[in-house]
A = this chain, B = another copy of it.
Amino acid sequence: MVDAVVILVVEDDQLIQAIIEEALSDSGFEASITASGEEAIALLRAEKSPYRAVVTDINLLGKIDGWDVARAARETNPAMPVIYMTGTHGEEWASQGVPNSVLLAKPFAPAQLVTAISHLLNATLPTAATE
């Protein structure tokens, strides 16, 4: 509390960006939003990266898709909570997703996203978080 819990959101639809930003802000999280998978990976690999969870669309504008963003996030931090959002690629999650991730099939309510982030953050072992 008091300090920010920053969530990296990778999404190129501006309407959905706005809905997510409001839902996270109302719940006490701080959203950091990018539309590009390439930029997301650069942000995750930067030194002293502040992100505590990654929320990513599967279809992104460049060559990098959401499955790639999640793998890069986990290579940097094996305990990083990952939430995928998709309207059409749900059936690929079982082969392309990372373990202990959540897939939200659009349409979903903002509360589902907030619950998924909170649940994954709360389940992170404290010993892992402090090592």
Contact = CB atoms under 8 A, between A and B. Distances in A.
Interface of A: 1-5, 15-16, 19-20, 23, 27-29, 70-72, 74-75, 78-79, 90-91, 93-112, 114-119, 121-122, 125-131
A14 to B, nearest CB: 12
Chain A residues touching B, majority SS: helix
Contacts of A125: 78-79, 94, 125, 128
Nearest to A20: B1
A105 B28 CA distance: 15
Nearest to A96: B71
Nearest to A86: B126
A127 B78 contact: yes
